[in-house]
Structure 1
Amino acid sequence: MAAATLQGAERTEAAPSPAPADPGAPVADAWSPTPEELASVRTTVARLRAAYPSVDAATVEATVAAAYDSFRQAKVRKYVPILAERRSREALAAAGSTADPAREGP
């Protein structure tokens, strides 16, 4: 399943149309992960690839990236890894993937 489909799986409402761009407005920063967050992303991808062996690796990586991206504006970063992993698992399960029960993580 395409990453774009998984990314919007939990959203049911239509997004409001964006306001016209203001040249003086600050530009929204893209998620720029710290080295610790990058390590968490790699660990999460590895754990989910092992838990969902039937899912393409690129799909798992895109799902995890989308989950982390959804928390890019979180001010408290401590819980982002576990929240992103849970969101990724939910998206993979909603897509019809079955996890290997012997390899399930937290």
Structure 2
Amino acid sequence: MAPATLKGPDRTETAPALEDPGARTPHESPHESPDDWSPTPEDLAAVKTTVARMRAAYPSVDASTVEATVEAAYDSFRQAKVRRYVPILAERRSRKVLTAGSTPDPVRDGP
């Protein structure tokens, strides 16, 4: 039985959780509205890298379309608490949209 589920005198101290490098920093409020969110330098670098990779993979697609698609994909994950996997998820979403040849639809594609 896990220590956290024991009650009474059998309960032991639990080890502190390991820090998640992709988690929000303590100064970020969990009640922060999506409009208050601003990308970190790491987020901006990841968007720039993904745009470059998508432009190379889809040379026939207009550069502004590629950039808008990647930015929309990243924007759909702006409320994600764990940021570690956002770049790969946004790249996959961008590839899906660019392969289909359509613009992203947040209702259809989801967050």
| TM-score computed with the length of structure 1 as normaliser | 0.62
- The structure-2 alpha-carbon separation of the partners of 1:61 and 1:45, relative to structure 1 and needing over 3 Å to count, comes to same
Q: Relative contact order: is structure 1 or structure 2 higher (C-alpha 8 Å, sep ≥ 6)?
A: 1
Structure 2: tracts of 5 or more residues without a match: 1-31, 103-111
Structure 1: tracts of 5 or more residues without a match: 1-25, 97-106
> What is residue 56 of structure 2 aligned with on the other side?
50
- Following superposition of structure 1 onto structure 2, how do residues 1-106 of structure 1 map, counting pairs within 5 Å? 27-95=33-101
Distance in 1 of aligned mates of 2:77 and 2:47: 13
CA RMSD in angstroms comes to 1.6
User: Secondary structure of 1:29's match?
Assistant: helix
| TM-score computed with the length of structure 2 as normaliser | 0.60
Q: Does the CA-based 8 Å contact 1:30-1:72 persist in structure 2? A: no
Identity of aligned residues (%): 77
Q: Does the CA-based 8 Å contact 2:54-2:66 persist in structure 1? A: yes
* Bigger CA radius of gyration: 2
Distance in 2 of aligned mates of 1:51 and 1:30: 33
Write out the 4+ residue segments of structure 1 that deviate beyond 6 Å after TM superposition: none
- Shift, 1:32, TM fit: 1.2
Distance in 2 of aligned mates of 1:54 and 1:31: 33
User: Secondary structure of 1:54's match?
Assistant: coil
Q: Does the CA-based 8 Å contact 1:31-1:69 persist in structure 2? A: no
